[in-house]
């Protein structure tokens, strides 16, 4: 097993309106409890990233103004590196605004905000300004796990995200709105590139998913991770499921 998890947080000062730092803290603690090192690097506007220097790249959500700044910077300074990282099997995780920037583009009225094209999707801002808000639960099936699992969280997005034909969602909506409020699917997953609207933050409510990300980033089977006493984490997960009505 690798002796450390190397994480690159993209724009943590601008894309962090949904308690996204809690996700990084969750990964750090679960590494520490297992004796695995944790290295966190931030990459902001104008700063290039090394595709080989990190096991997991993380992009959270932000306000429209900040998201547009980050979108152009991603295209200008980080797109090729993130494609190279994904091609070699690094995790690229985008949450809320992050999923929108992983795709082709985000339509804000007459303005088209570019994405980096790691997955084939596009997002359109609701014409009437309505938002998809509430507790949500989805059923997912991931490599290395026995059977489907449930992810629970909170969604709050004005954009409607549409997957291209053949693109795989992260999961099936059990409760909540999902990508567009109609399709019954949530998020996206292409190999180790993952996008979702679930936050609140996501990982402290779903310790099993944090471990799956950790194991996949380190290129080991989830079952190879040392077990932890997850009584509190399991209670948080059950509370999030209950809030979603699952």
Whether 96 is catalytic: yes
b/e code 145-160 from CB counts within 10 Å (16+ = b): beeebbbbbbbbbbbb
| Residue 35: CB atoms within 10 Å | 9
DSSP 18: S
Is 157 a residue of the active site?
no
> Which pair of tokens denotes residue 135?
């507790």
Q: What is the DSSP letter of 98?
A: H
Q: Which of the residues 8, 31, 70, 96 is marked catalytic?
A: 96
Selecting among 54, 122, 177, 199, the annotated active-site residue is 199
- Measuring CA to CA, which residue among 222, 74, 217 is closest to residue 144? 222
CA distance 45 to 114: 16
Burial of 162 (0-12, 13-18, 19+ CB in 10 A): middle
DSSP string, 117-166: -SSSEEEEE-TT---EEEEEEEEE--TTSSS-EEEEEEEEESEEEEEPTT
Sign of the Cα pseudo-torsion (97, 208, 176, 173, in order): positive
Active site residues: 96, 199
């Amino acid at each position: 097993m690798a002796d450390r998890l190397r994480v690159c947080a993209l724009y943590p000062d601008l894309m962090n309106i949904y308690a996204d730092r809690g996700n990084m803290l969750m990964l750090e603690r679960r590494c520490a409890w297992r004796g695995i090192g944790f290295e966190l690097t931030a990459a902001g506007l104008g700063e290039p990233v090394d595709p080989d220097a990190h096991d997991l790249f993380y992009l959270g959500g932000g306000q429209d103004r900040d998201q547009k700044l980050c979108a152009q910077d991603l295209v200008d300074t980080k797109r090729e590196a993130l494609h190279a990282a994904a091609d070699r099997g690094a995790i690229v995780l985008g949450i809320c605004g992050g999923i929108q920037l992983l795709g082709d583009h985000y339509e804000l009225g007459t303005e088209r905000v570019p994405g980096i094209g790691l997955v084939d999707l596009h997002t359109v801002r609701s014409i009437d300004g309505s938002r998809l808000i509430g507790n949500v639960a989805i059923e997912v099936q991931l490599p290395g796990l026995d059977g489907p699992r449930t992810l629970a969280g909170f969604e709050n997005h004005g954009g409607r995200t549409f997957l291209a034909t053949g693109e795989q969602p992260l999961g099936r909506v059990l409760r909540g709105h999902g990508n567009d409020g109609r399709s019954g699917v949530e998020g996206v997953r292409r190999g180790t590139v993952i996008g979702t609207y679930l936050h609140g933050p996501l990982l402290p409510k779903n310790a099993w998913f944090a471990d799956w990300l950790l194991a996949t980033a380190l290129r080991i089977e989830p079952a190879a991770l040392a077990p932890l006493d997850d009584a509190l984490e399991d209670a948080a997960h059950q509370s999030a499921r209950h809030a979603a009505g699952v």
